[in-house]
Amino acid sequence: MIIRDKLENLNRHGDNWIARCPACASGGGDKQGQHLIIYEDGKYGCAAHSKDKEHRREIFRLVGQSTPLDPEQKRAFIRERIKRESKEIHRRKLETALQKKRASIITGYRWTEAEVLADSPSEPPQDPRLFIASLFPRSSVVWTGQKEHSGTWKDGRTFPHHWQTVDAWQHHQPQNVGPLTAPCTWPTGTMNRTAANVMTSPFVVLDFDGRNGIKPKTPEEIAAHIADSLAIIRWIREVMKWKLAAILHTGNISLHAWFHRPALAIVESVKAQSAILGIDAGLLTNPEHPCRLPGWTHQKSGVKSRTLWMQND
């Protein structure tokens, strides 16, 4: 809290107080004596440096005082800190273990693109219509389109025709199916691609888009990233026993692995490790998020997205 006795030009303004900002004053500033505002609840700030954290700290250093805690508050505070610290230690241990594990996965579970294609139980469909038909029941309503084909635009446009049954999508030209879809089904008449509207989410799509937020750039980095990602996909399938449905190469730097959705707790445990595994966590628990269909040229690379692996059943 701020000790008001230490302030210059202190004046009451309704429920708040205004005074000369001691931090500004220390440099000869705020001659008018009206930069500092102290709110009813004790919060305070300098009107001339409202976004400057260092300035706030300087104010506190000059005229502030820590509010003394009563013994019970103090104990609760310590308990909370211990809990936080042990969580952090646990997280770090897990991270180190995972880094090691990742390295051994990548060497132990190598799965080259040629091997993946050869191992595919079904012919990998390169037509976006066949891709969704391989994964969803014919009567399911599936969304395809561009990211922005959802909701109501400012000009009043809506996009109900982007939600169609898998069957209906078969009657469109392939260039009108995609470039994106979402790994979920929707009730008839959906117009908004929101989590609340999702009817079923039979798949989890893991997006391998670079580790710890670092995107591979050079051709060598991209090749290594794809090789690492395929090894991790194989490991998730063979060791974690997730049921693989499809693998799609986006044509740029990412691989999308479609898995049949495991129990929520298992999804959460992978989400916690997603940065180390090189997975975009967003798609893990947000089935409404868009992912790519095959047969579309990626804008950044000019290369077509393609299915590497498919099991339809």
Q: Which residues of the shown chain bind Zn ion in the complex (CB under 5 A)?
A: 21, 23-24, 35, 46
User: Which two tokens mark 94?
Assistant: 């897990």
Q: What does the alpha-carbon distance between residue 48 and residue 32 come to, in Å, rounded to a whole number?
A: 12
Nearer to Zn ion, 24 or 246 (CB): 24
Taking residue 14's Cβ as centre, other Cβ atoms within 10 Å add up to 7
Separation between Cα atoms, residue 292 and residue 294, nearest integer Å: 7
Residue (35 or 193) nearer to Zn ion, CB: 35
| Shortest Å distance, C-beta 263 to Zn ion | 54
The b/e string for 197-232 (b: 16+ C-beta within 10 A; e otherwise) is bbeebbbbbbbbbbbeeeebeeeeebeebbebbbbb
CB of 155 to Zn ion, least distance (A): 46
Amino acid at the residue 249:
H
Comparison of 44 and 159: residue with beta carbon closer to Zn ion: 44
SS3 67: coil
Q: What are phi and psi of 151, to 5 degrees?
A: 75, -160
Q: With 0-12 CB in 10 A as exposed, 13-18 as middle and 19+ as buried, what is 239?
A: exposed
Nearer to Zn ion, 23 or 166 (CB): 23
Distance from C-alpha of 99 to C-alpha of 276, rounded to nearest angstrom: 7
In the complex, least distance from residue 35 CB atom to Zn ion, rounded to whole angstroms? 4
Question: In this complex, which beta carbon is closest to Zn ion, that of residue 8 or of residue 167?
Answer: 8
* 109, 232 Cβ separation under 8 angstroms: yes
Q: How far is the CB of 1 from Zn ion (least distance, A)?
A: 18
The DSSP 8-state label assigned to residue 94 in this structure reads H
Q: How far is the CB of 217 from Zn ion (least distance, A)?
A: 44
Nearest distance in Å: CB 3, Zn ion: 17
State which residue, 19 or 293, has the beta carbon closest to Zn ion. 19
- Contact predicate 261/272, CB 8 Å: no
